[in-house]
């Protein structure tokens, strides 16, 4: 059975790692907020564990700090190949419902993968928007993907690939749980812009 981290533990863990990552980068709170397109107040609350970051914000912060998403949420691979066993990947309770990080090779974070589980009739808390591109695959359930002003209904096995700089969100249009695999990628050129 998968471990589900207590929401309070998750917030404290991510908050501590966000603060440590910013300090290692040598950025002030204002510099980090500007580099990631979030307000100083919001970033400060994330670092104190008073707010949970959305998946999009987590991906953006991980990239700007040069960390794999998995490491930022407390999963540190010990080898050059990190194998993620479906039944062993810990589920995190975030504002965008339960998710599991499925990627994370130290030093390589051009690609981030997660598994997102949405209860029936739910939707991600707010539209995500971050540098790079995103690919998602519906594993189970029926979802609607809203990208900018367009929306697409996807069923199991359907996939979508889009520019992640367009505001996007996922809605579960069914009654049962929907499981979606999301892969977010950033090119080295894009990753370097504004994050020196």
What DSSP state is assigned to residue 91?
B
Residue 12 lies in a domain: yes
| Of 108 and 71, more confident | 71
pLDDT value at residue 104: 66
- Expressed as residue numbers, the domain containing 164 is 7-192
Average pLDDT over residues 175-192: 75
pLDDT value at residue 99: 72
Report the domain count for the chain.
Answer: 1
Of 168, 123, 130, give the one whose Cα is nearest residue 147. Answer: 168
Residue 61 lies in a domain: yes
Report yes or no: 2 and 91 within 8 Å, Cβ to Cβ: yes
Residue 1 lies in a domain: no
Cβ atoms within 10 Å of 138's Cβ, excluding its own = 21
Q: List pLDDT tens digits, range 101-152.
A: 777 655 556 778 888 889 998 888 778 887 789 999 999 999 999 999 999 9
| Of 79 and 147, more confident | 147
Residue 53 lies in a domain: yes
105, β-bridge pairs: 108
Residue 151 lies in a domain: yes
- Local confidence band at 190 (pLDDT 50, 70, 90 cut-offs): very low
What DSSP state is assigned to residue 53?
P
For residue 137, the number of C-alpha atoms closer than 13 Å in the C-beta half-sphere is 7
**CATH number of the domain that 53 lies in?**
2.60.120.10
pLDDT value at residue 144: 96
Q: List pLDDT tens digits, range 1-56.
A: 344 445 556 678 888 888 888 888 889 999 999 888 889 999 998 898 888 887 77
pLDDT value at residue 102: 75
What is the rounded (10 degree) CA torsion for 84, 86, 90, 91? 130
The DSSP code sequence of 97-161 is EEEEE---BTTB-SEEEEEEEE-TT-B-SS-B--SSEEEEEEEES-EEEEETTEEEEE-TT-EEE
Residue 97 lies in a domain: yes
What distance in Å separates the CA atoms of residue 108 and residue 34, rounded to the nearest whole number? 23
Residue 2 lies in a domain: no
């Amino acid at each position: 059975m998968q471990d589900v981290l207590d929401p309070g533990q998750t917030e404290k863990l991510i908050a501590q790692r966000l603060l440590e990552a910013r300090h290692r980068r040598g950025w002030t709170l204002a510099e980090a907020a500007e580099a990631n397109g979030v307000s100083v107040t919001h970033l400060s609350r994330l670092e104190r564990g008073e707010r949970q970051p959305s998946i999009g914000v987590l991906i953006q912060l991980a990239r700007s700090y040069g960390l794999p998403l998995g490491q930022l949420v407390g999963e540190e691979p010990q080898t050059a190949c990190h194998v993620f066993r479906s039944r062993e990947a810990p589920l995190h309770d975030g504002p965008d419902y339960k998710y599991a990080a499925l990627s994370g090779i130290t030093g390589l974070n051009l690609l981030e993968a997660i598994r997102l589980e949405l209860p029936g009739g739910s939707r991600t808390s707010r539209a995500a928007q971050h540098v790079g591109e995103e690919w998602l695959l519906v594993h189970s359930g029926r979802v609607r993907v809203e990208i900018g002003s367009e929306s697409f209904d996807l069923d199991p096995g359907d996939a979508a690939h889009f520019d992640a700089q367009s505001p996007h969100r996922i809605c579960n249009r069914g009654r049962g749980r929907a499981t979606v695999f999301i892969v977010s990628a950033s090119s080295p050129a894009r990753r370097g812009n504004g994050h020196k």
